[in-house]
Amino acid sequence: MTRVEEIMNQRVITVPPEMTLSAAVNVFTENHIGGAPVVDDRGRIVGMISELQLLEVVFDLEARQAPVSDYMIVDFKSLTPRDSLAHAAQMFAIFSFRRLPVTEDGHLLGIVTRRDLMNHALRSGERLEEPLMKFIPDLVEIA
């Protein structure tokens, strides 16, 4: 069983909660990313921010100078390094996330994206369990 720590990217672009939305847009653009963990000065993840939240700069001129903390998602899901890739795949499928932070005791260790998971599956030939089969065992017998 492959674990998250085997495919996670440890070089994660992060933004601080006090960064302005316009500065975050620049970070995303310069690094070609669509989302990032929001990390405080102690290295603890306090939220997630994505292009969807940053889109507010298009509609509200005042939002450009607002802090990321005003727009970040604080109720985010995360993985641990020991989680299986099947668990990560289920999280991606069920919640439609594009990226999941990998944390330990609230500290950011890395990130896994849907693309990381797909690339691993193609390179390794590994087949993961269908996300809903675990929750609906009767369908396994029908299929």
- How many degrees, rounded to 5, is the angle at CA 22 between CA 8 and CA 65? 125
Tokens (6 digits) for 46? 């306090």
User: Do the domain assignments include residue 47?
Assistant: yes
Give mean pLDDT, residues 41-52.
96
- Residue 117: give its domain's CATH number: 3.10.580.10
Q: What domain range is 49 assigned to?
A: 4-126
pTM of the model: 0.85
User: Do the domain assignments include residue 142?
Assistant: no
Average of per-residue pLDDT values in the chain: 91
User: Do the domain assignments include residue 143?
Assistant: no
User: Do the domain assignments include residue 42?
Assistant: yes
- For 16, half-sphere exposure in the C-beta direction (CA atoms, 13 angstrom radius) is 5
Q: Is a pLDDT exceeding 60 seen at residue 75? A: yes
User: Do the domain assignments include residue 140?
Assistant: no
Percent of the chain scoring above 90 in pLDDT = 79
Number of structural domains the chain divides into: 1
Rounded CA-CA distance 108/86 in Å is 21
For residue 15, the model assigns a pLDDT of 98
Give mean pLDDT, residues 37-60.
95
Rounded CA-CA distance 3/92 in Å is 15
